[in-house]
A and B are shown apart, each in its own frame.
Chain A
Amino acid sequence: MLNVLFVTIAAATPLLLASMGGFLSERGGVINIGLEGLMLVSACVTALVSVHWGPYGGLTAGLVSAVLLSLIHWLMTQVYRIDHVISGMAINALAAGGTNFMLGEFSDPSRAGSFPHLPVSWFKVAAFGVPAVLWLFVHYTRAGLRLVATGSDPDKARLAGLSPVRIRLMALIGTGVLAGLAGSMLSSDTGGFTDNMTAGRGYIALAALILGGWRPLPTLGACLAFGFFSALWVQFQGQVVFGVQPPSQLWASLPYLATVVALAGFLGRNRTPAGLGKH
């Protein structure tokens, strides 16, 4: 049972960091389907660079790469003003293709699996403090207030003398850092990078944010719930349950199915930031 708890927390950590990254972006009114891509790029770059420059060099490089990708999202949605979902999908394509490309750069594929590690457990502890910090940020800082105002109504925020484009720039840098951190955790935790290793976690993180009503603390709860379903996979795959041995694919499907079921049961309590996707 204790094992399930540990695995739950381990699985929830990257989700939590990514969904908090999504929080910054979406509370500022920018739909962010691209969390998946940010995580993926950061996971890959962290693994690649750690081999040469040690764990912190790897982490830094991972974060920078995610921030750069996040800035592309800012550029396309705020300067070129294209649809946020389209831009997010393109970000994910760039990330999926780009990391596949970089995979060839792992000079020694076997070493890609054994790069110097971060002290992951400390990062996990810190990750669980992020929702509280963001709650305080939104309620007790000028920047937080301005972020929420922009996400609620960019036109009126502009009328109040704010610059939504600049506020969203800051928010998306924050998104890059947090989602990048999530990616770094992922490759550090497993000790290597594999093609498409995020496997939809960015989307699950976004679902957690939606289920949490775009509020940090309920989102934490949703992430733990998704983490729990992943833990079941690790715990029970290959075992006999109720007299049958379910296929491992069934366990693997659980987090995905849980997301769909949770969204289906999410009774229209609409807390969506009103300015989401607006310029």
Chain B
Amino acid sequence: MRLRLAALVLGAALLLLGAFFSAHVSPIEAVTTLMRGSLGTPSAIGGTLRETTPLLIAGLAVYLALRAGLFNIGVEGQLLVGALASSLVALKIHGIAGVLIGIVAAMLAGALWSWPAGLIRAYRNGHEVITTIMLNNVALLMTTYLVAGPFKAPGTEEPSTALLGPGDSLGAIWSSGNLQVNVGLALAVFVAAAVAFWLKRTVPGYELQAVGAGPGAARFAGIDPKRTIVRAMLASGAIAGFAGAVQVFAYEHRFYEGFSPGYGFDALGVALLAGNNPLGIVPAALLFGILAKGGTALQIDGVPKGITTVVLGLLILVAAGIRFREVRAVA
């Protein structure tokens, strides 16, 4: 068994090495570039933390759904509609009120976007992977249309909303020289703790996980799987929308075409890597943050950005392979 696992890790490593060689980059050099680009300087670390923030919150959205047995691939789309909703609110309402209402609007938009997937899964047995991916495409097209048309900032060529006012955002919670840590990251860590507590210590959290781990037994225990599935999907969508809002208020200060470089998909890797422990999301998100920030440095070196997606795929496979062994070892 251990041999098989070694073969899996070796296979993944070989595939990765092959990728580096085909891009004519030495792996050692690539890793050095990656580490230096993500952790080498204070501003690099700041950039890594910035990348970590949306991955952490979106990862929690995926994780919560996963505990209910749902693959919410739609976090990408939910994040997009959330981000757009929050920036539109903050362009009308200023100050801290705008930020708060913007966050609520983003969560509502995200939940609304995940709702059909939850309903179709619960009452029509239509797989949520398909519906959420379809809704991702619709969200991308819709938000693109809206920022290229009705909500385009006046006087620019770029499909983007206007920039938020200076008071309409989240500031730094801590800064020293080039290294800034935004309130957004603190919010993300807080949400991680809240989700962990909710799952472990509350009755609804217990019930959500019962439906994910044993829907039949849950039904006999007086838990309605259908209703729980819809609620889990709504909560997941709301968190995804929250991720969009934090991204707008903490870092981007506007919404534009191509707002998300695929946070929703990376979030899937974050959640799968975290395993059974919600707090495991924090280091997993940090790892993906390093990959994302370091990946940009690699790109400058001529390695296509696809490399990070390949790494994501391999990490998912290896993590899932290891996890299966753990489960079997107990039985």
Q: Count how many pairs of residues, one from A and one from B, have CB atoms less than 8 Å apart in the complex.
A: 142
Tell me whether B134 and A257 are in contact (CB under 8 A). yes
Interface residues of B in 67-124 (CB under 8 A from A): 71, 73, 116, 119-120, 123-124
Contact partner of A82 (CB less than 8 A), chosen from B123, B129, B320, is B320
A81 at the interface (CB under 8 A from B): yes
Interface-central residue, B71, B265, B316, by most chain A CB under 10 Å: B316
CB distance from B7 to the nearest CB of A (A): 10
Query: For residues 97 through 132 of chain A, which have their beta carbon under 8 Å from a beta carbon of chain B?
Result: 97-101, 103-105
* A206 CB-CB contact with B under 8 Å: yes
Tell me, in angstroms, the Cα distance from A98 to B130 when the chains sit together.
22
A260 touches B4 (CB 8 A): no
When C-beta atoms are compared, the residue in chain A nearest to B5 turns out to be A80
**Alpha-carbon separation in the docked complex, A153 to B168 (Å):** 58
Expressed in whole angstroms, the minimum distance between the Cβ of A10 and any Cβ of chain B is 20
CB contacts under 8 Å to B, within A237-265, are 247, 249-250, 252-253, 256-257, 259-260, 263-265
The count of chain B contact residues (Cβ–Cβ below 8 Å) is 49
Collect the chain B residues with CB atoms within 8 Å of residue A207's CB: 130, 134
The residue from B119, B124, B133, B316 contacting A93, defined by CB atoms under 8 A apart: B316
Q: Report the Cα distance A83→B323, complex, angstroms.
A: 11
A90 at the interface (CB under 8 A from B): yes
In the complex, the chain A residue whose C-beta lies closest to that of B306 is: A100
Q: Given A76-B317, A101-B22, A103-B304, is A249 in contact with B309 using a C-beta cutoff of 8 Å?
A: no
Interface flag for B173 (CB, 8 Å):
no
Q: Evaluate whether A85 and B71 lie within 8 angstroms (CB atoms) in the complex, with A94-B310, A98-B306, A264-B119 already known.
A: yes
A86-B320 in contact (CB<8A)? yes
Q: Cβ of B141 and Cβ of A253 under 8 Å apart? A: yes
Residue of chain B at shortest CB distance from A205: B130
Contacts of B268 in A (CB 8 A): 89
Find the residue from A72, A76, A97 having the highest chain B CB count within 10 A: A97
A200: CB under 8 A from chain B?
yes
Contact of B120 among A105, A203, A257, A264 (CB under 8 A): A264
Answer whether residue A199 sits at the interface, using C-beta atoms and an 8 A cutoff. yes
Tell me the complex Cα distance, A263–B122, Å.
12
Give the chain A neighbours of B313 by CB distance below 8 A.
Answer: 90-94, 97
Given contacts A82-B317, A101-B19, A270-B125, contact A203 B309 (CB under 8 A): no
Once bound together, how far apart are the Cα atoms of A174 and B71, in whole Å?
26
Q: A81 CA to B73 CA in the complex, in Å?
A: 22
Prevailing SS type, chain A contact patch: helix
A-side contacts of B73, CB under 8 Å? 89
Chain A interface, number of residues (Cβ within 8 angstroms): 50
A266 CA / B119 CA spacing, docked (Å):
12
Chain A residue contacts of B323, Cβ below 8 A: 82
**B145 near A250 (CB under 8 angstroms)?**
yes
- Specify the main secondary structure of chain B where it touches its partner: helix
Judged by a CB distance under 8 angstroms, whether B258 is at the interface is no
Report which of A82, A93, A260, A267 forms a contact with B131, defined as CB distance below 8 A: A260
A249 touches B316 (CB 8 A): no
List A contacts of B131 (CB < 8 A).
259-260, 263
Would B320 and A87 count as touching, CB distance under 8 A?
yes
B52 is an interface residue with CB less than 8 A from chain A: no
Which of B4, B126, B308 lies in contact with A80, CB distance below 8 A? B4
Question: Smallest Cβ distance from B327 to chain A, in angstroms?
Answer: 10
A86 x B316 contact (CB < 8 A): yes
- Chain B residue with the shortest CB-CB distance to A79: B4
If A80-B8, A101-B304 touch, does A85 touch B135 (CB 8 Å cutoff)?
A: no
Q: A219: shortest Cβ distance to chain B, in Å?
A: 14
How far in angstroms is the closest Cβ of chain A from B22? 7
Given contacts A80-B8, A101-B22, A104-B304, contact A260 B141 (CB under 8 A): no
Q: Is B196 an interface residue (CB 8 A)?
A: no
Known contacts A81-B324, A93-B269, A249-B145; A98 and B137 CB within 8 A of each other: no
Q: A90-B317, A264-B119 are in contact. Are A100 and B305 (CB under 8 A)?
A: yes
* CB neighbours of B304 from chain A (8 A): 100-101, 103-104
What's the Cα separation between A247 and B22 when bound, in Å?
41
Q: How far is the CB of A205 from chain B (nearest CB, A)?
A: 10
Task: Please indicate the chain A residues that have their CB under 8 angstroms from the CB of B138 in the complex.
Answer: 253, 256-257, 260
B307 at the binding interface (Cβ < 8 Å): yes
8 Å CB contacts to B: which residues of A56-84?
Answer: 72, 76, 79-83
A185: Cβ under 8 A from any B Cβ: no
- A263-B124 contact, Cβ under 8 Å, with A86-B272, A87-B320: yes
**Minimum distance in angstroms from B329 CB to a CB of chain A:** 13
Contact B135–A260 (Cβ < 8 Å): yes
Add 7 more A-B contacts to A94-B310, A101-B310 (CB < 8 A).
Answer: A82-B320, A87-B320, A90-B313, A90-B317, A93-B312, A101-B23, A256-B135
Residues of chain B touching chain A, judged by Cβ–Cβ distance below 8 Å, are: 4, 8, 19, 22-23, 71, 73, 116, 119-120, 123-127, 129-131, 133-135, 137-138, 141-142, 144-145, 149, 265, 268-269, 272, 304-314, 316-317, 320-321, 323-324
